[in-house]
Amino acid sequence: MNDSLSLPNGDWPELLPGWVWLCGAGPGDPGLLTLHAINALRQADVVIYDALVQEAILEWAPQAKHIYAGKRGGKPSAIQRDISLRLVDLAREGKRVLRLKGGDPFVFGRGGEEAQTLVQHNVPIRIIPGISAGIGGLAYAGIPVTHRDVNQSVTFVTGHDQSGETPSSLNWPAIAQGSQVLVIYMGMKHAEQITSELIKAGRGVEEPCAVVCSATTGDQKVLETTLGRMAADIAASGYEPPAILCVGRSVLMRQVLDWQGMMGGQAPRNLDPLGRGRPAEAS
């Protein structure tokens, strides 16, 4: 156990019996948990966790019962309802319930739906945000989601809808044209359709892209590619989800900011990948 790490003195909230805390676990690396998450893990009677929550994180709650609530394929909406009602039942039994979700609970994680069901059943809740894979996962690949020379906005998109298909309701031309950098969750399986929609809508085939798999974990893999080649490169790589797809020139920054590669002794490939010619001046 991690007895050596104690929370700093302060007024840490108490997880009371009958409450449910919905908490983000971050993208994988346990070091990316928040202090509120640790505080919750230490008090919970029950931790209900998703497929994307790393086992190592559960070790922070040795006193709690661990219940796996992962969903793979199947009928996500029906199962989702079961999970929400299970949370209600556990709370009504007087348990201190921690609902632990990968990344941030309110980013493509159905945390909003679970929280709504709890409130509808008069179960008191607390929300603990987490580091989302689309931000923290890219940072671990050396890709800043915003960069002054690249983008003034970033769009987070899901590549799946409830049925598991590419969301046909999405306005791909608007997404393609709306911001210079697109961060796509759950897009790996539909990469071919997504990239062709983006190209049809005017994004360049040569545009830099990255696919970051199992970001922040020991299995992290990064594929650097272009919009035109992404789907074929994914197929050839054999890489598996979970993955974040990033489309846009900020991917080039990895050539100078691949800090994990540098920790492994690699030299930066290019100190000036955006071609500014000199370090940016402080302003």
Q: How far apart are alpha carbons 53 and 198 in whole angstroms?
A: 31
- The two beta strands, 46-49 and 181-185, are unpaired
**By beta-carbon distance, which residue lies closest to ligand SAH?**
103
SS3 of residue 1 by DSSP: coil
Contacting residues toward ligand SAH, per CB under 6 A: 27-28, 52, 101-104, 107-109, 132-133, 137, 185-186, 212-217, 241-244
Q: Minimum distance between the CB of residue 243 and ligand SAH, rounded to whole angstroms?
A: 5
Q: How far apart are alpha carbons 27 and 17 in whole angstroms?
A: 28
Strand partners, 210: 224, 246
Q: Minimum distance between the CB of residue 254 and ligand SAH, rounded to whole angstroms?
A: 15
Q: Do 183 and 138 touch, CB atoms closer than 8 A?
A: yes
Q: Nearer to ligand SAH by C-beta: 95 or 115?
A: 115
φ and ψ at residue 243, rounded to 5 degrees: -145, 150
Q: Minimum distance between the CB of residue 156 and ligand SAH, rounded to whole angstroms?
A: 9
**Crossing angle of helices 230-237 and 191-200, rounded to 10°:** 170
Q: Nearer to ligand SAH by C-beta: 102 or 208?
A: 102
| Residue 188 annotated to the active site | no
Q: How far apart are alpha carbons 100 and 66 in whole angstroms?
A: 10
Q: Minimum distance between the CB of residue 220 and ligand SAH, rounded to whole angstroms?
A: 7
Among the listed residues 45, 71, 161, 233, the single catalytic one is 71
Q: Nearer to ligand SAH by C-beta: 12 or 106?
A: 106
Q: How far apart are alpha carbons 185 and 88 in whole angstroms?
A: 28
Among the listed residues 50, 95, 104, 258, the single catalytic one is 50
Can you spell out the DSSP letters for 14-25?
A: P--TT-EEEEE-
Q: Nearer to ligand SAH by C-beta: 15 or 222?
A: 222
CA neighbours closer than 13 Å in the CB half-sphere of residue 164: 8
| Residue 50 annotated to the active site | yes
Among the listed residues 104, 186, 230, 258, the single catalytic one is 186
Q: Minimum distance between the CB of residue 110 and ligand SAH, rounded to whole angstroms?
A: 8
Q: Nearer to ligand SAH by C-beta: 47 or 95?
A: 47
Residues serving a catalytic function are: 50, 71, 186
